[in-house]
Amino acid sequence: MKIGVVGLGYVGIVTSAVLANQGHHIIGVDIDQKRVDGLNCSVNPIYEPGLDELLKKNTGRLFFTTDYSFLREVDLAFISVSTPTVNGEIYLDYVFSAAKSLSKVLRKDAVIVMKSTVLPGTSRKVREITGIETVSNPEFLKEGTAIEDSIRPDRVVIGSTSKEAGDLVEEVWKFTNAPILRTTPEEAEMIKYAANSFLAMKVSFINEIANLCEKIPGCDVNNIAKGIGFDKRISPYFLRAGLGWGGSCFPKDTLAIASYARSMGTPLRLVEAAIQVNNERPRKAVGLLKEMMGSLKDRRICVLGVAFKPDTDDTRESVSIKIIRLLKEDGATVFAYDPKAKTDLAQMTSLDECVNMSEGVIIATEWKEFIGIEEKLKGKYVVDGRRILNPSVLGYKFRAIGLGE
């Protein structure tokens, strides 16, 4: 097919590359001319394992532009623009702006596919704006494994009012051999929010348990998580205690659905509690360091990890960035190292320089590069915010999330 992709952010670029690799001809549209020019020259603006290779492999089937008129003959047009939260509420202007632009160029028998994460009722409103069949087809990608998640998803959700439009979208994703769930557009939109909210709650739950474990001598939250994770009703996934969640999805999606639910007169109290717990995690890491070092004023601190998670250069809502800000508020001099991400808030150095120049170290992102660096850290005050170090090696100048003294 000829497929348009509007919005060349994380989801848009990955979707474009994966579908081009299946033989489709992809026309990507974005308002950022620099990004478009770079993609046409195989310069990828984001880091995602395997994505550079996939883009280069399929250059003959990929074309990127700022001009919507190139979408006149596409069969499908994915909307994958950003849907940020502003003052705690979802901002949908980018979605509706894309819809209005598509309405001017698409054939009336084309299909719009909503990939952006949007509140229930948005896809139906896009159909009203454009007069074109609109299908909700939420993404469930994880940064760091986005290509694998696109090729072998747990499920494909297709929400439509038109069977024919839904069938066309199903044909696109048939290669995944994943279970396909056909729903209404509103159900598909709600599935995305419910999934992210539930996973966010699991993370906040185990972090609450971690707080309690730290008060109990000889108690390690990792063993608690392992013990409950064997229960098939619970499963071990997203029971990794640490510094909480960041990135482009969980923070904005939990805020958006909580705000939407309040507007409907049905507050999601568990989701709101999960947000509150997560907001406390950066201060938790700094607090553990203060317990060992006392005042941080004029002390040199190394933060290992700047990206919100490993295998990405994405710093959106990164807990690491929030920790750096808190350290600086306390008067510390902050150095940082990350294999891929950068920040202007701290002096970026090499791994060895970051550790050697500092008195205290916080492990803020669980990059594989940080596993096994205990010898480098000896003599430093260390907070393991991601539970990747061996406590028995580091002695009394060491604290870890969820580990009793």
Whether 354 is catalytic is no
What percent of the chain lies above the pLDDT cut of 70?
100
Q: Residue 405: is its pLDDT beyond 90?
A: no
CATH superfamily of 195-400: NAD(P)-binding Rossmann-like Domain (3.40.50.720)
| Collapsed DSSP state (helix, strand, coil) of residue 62 | strand
283 annotated binding-site participant: no
Q: Alpha-carbon distance 349 to 371, whole Å?
A: 18
Position 64 confidence tier, pLDDT thresholds 50, 70, 90: very high
Q: Alpha-carbon distance 378 to 229, whole Å?
A: 33
Please write the tens of the pLDDT for every residue from 210-241.
Answer: 999 999 999 999 999 999 999 999 999 999 99
Q: Identify the active-site residue in 213, 249, 302, 354.
A: 249
256 annotated binding-site participant: no
* Averaged pLDDT of the chain: 96
- Domain chopping of the chain, boundaries: 2-183, 195-400
60 annotated binding-site participant: no
Position 48 confidence tier, pLDDT thresholds 50, 70, 90: very high
239 annotated binding-site participant: yes
Q: Residue 324's closest CA among 351, 353, 298, 347?
A: 347
Asked if the domains at 2-183 and 195-400 fall in one CATH topology, the answer is: yes
Contact 340, 313 (CB under 8 A): yes
269 annotated binding-site participant: no
Length of the chain: 405
What pLDDT sits at residue 395?
Answer: 79
What pLDDT sits at residue 284?
Answer: 96
Q: Alpha-carbon distance 240 to 371, whole Å?
A: 16
What pLDDT sits at residue 182?
Answer: 98
57 annotated binding-site participant: no
Q: Residue 79: what are its φ and ψ, rounded to 5°?
A: -100, 115
What pLDDT sits at residue 281?
Answer: 97
- Write down the H helix ranges in 214-332: 221-229, 250-263, 269-279, 281-293, 319-329
What pLDDT sits at residue 392?
Answer: 87
What pLDDT sits at residue 380?
Answer: 95
325 annotated binding-site participant: no
Strands across the sheet with 156-159, in order? 62-65, 25-29, 2-6, 76-79, 111-114, 134-136, 156-159, 180-183
Please write the tens of the pLDDT for every residue from 235-278.
Answer: 999 999 999 999 989 999 999 999 999 999 999 999 999 999 99
62 to 25, 72, 215, 339: CA distances (angstroms): 6, 16, 55, 29
Out of 3.30.429.10, 3.40.50.720, 1.10.4160.10, 3.40.630.30, which CATH number does the structure's domain 2-183 have?
3.40.50.720
The pair of structure tokens assigned to 368 is: 């594989």
Report the range of poorest mean pLDDT among 107-116, 193-202, 309-318, 388-397.
388-397
Q: Alpha-carbon distance 369 to 352, whole Å?
A: 12
CA 192 to chain centre: 13
